[in-house]
Amino acid sequence: MFTEGLLEAYILNHIDQESDYLKALYRDTHVRLLRPRMASGHLQGRMLKMFVEMIRPHQILEIGTYSGYSALCLAEGLGEGGLLHTFEINDEQEDFTRPWLEGSPHADKIKFYIGDALILVPELNLSFDLVFIDGDKRKYIAYYEMSLSRLSSGGYIIADNTLWDGHVLEEETTDHQTLGIKAFNDYVAQDLRVEKVILPLRDGLTIIRKK
């Protein structure tokens, strides 16, 4: 019986490699930041890039930049003229993240904002073709509704952490993050405006398509 770690190593050895820049960012995230597991990492990063290449969005919204790993992968997949708008609510994160984004090969495709996406995104008066939600789990439904109202017909929302390390199976919990994810999953499951599927990749990715 193969262990999960061996299977993950096998997968990573049989997909496209991450760039040296992403490897350096991932290392720096683990050295300098709390909760480095929040960074998307190699497998999810390659999948995000491929999703962008498949969907071919012009405008992408990301809610929750953290160290910038996922933002760089999303931007990497963008075609000419495409733009990623990425929002980080924690202003203490800016000193770490901004230099990595602005020093990357994809800096011209990224606009980085510090502040609450629920407040700032409506002020942009933009529509998006792809949204990646990876912010405060307690606000996932609010992020979802705000994003859906600005999503083009046929556009996609990708929500991260929707299996929440298996905690979604806990029937009795007082953890607000877990409760937020469970409420979001139930909400989207009943939403007839969209098609949806949960991928058991890493900590769970829900792929949502607006009809």
pLDDT at 202: 82
Question: CB neighbours of 162 closer than 8 A, spacing ≥ 6?
Answer: 168, 181, 184, 185, 198, 203, 204, 205, 206
pLDDT at 2: 64
pLDDT at 35: 87
Domain 4-210 has CATH 1.20.120.1780: no
- Indicate whether 1 pLDDT > 70: no
pLDDT at 5: 82
Q: Are 114 and 129 in contact (CB under 8 A)?
A: no
pLDDT at 3: 76
Per-residue pLDDT of 5-42, as tens digits, reads 898 899 999 999 999 999 999 999 999 998 888 899 99
Where in the chain are the domains?
4-210
- Indicate whether 118 pLDDT > 70: yes
pLDDT at 135: 96
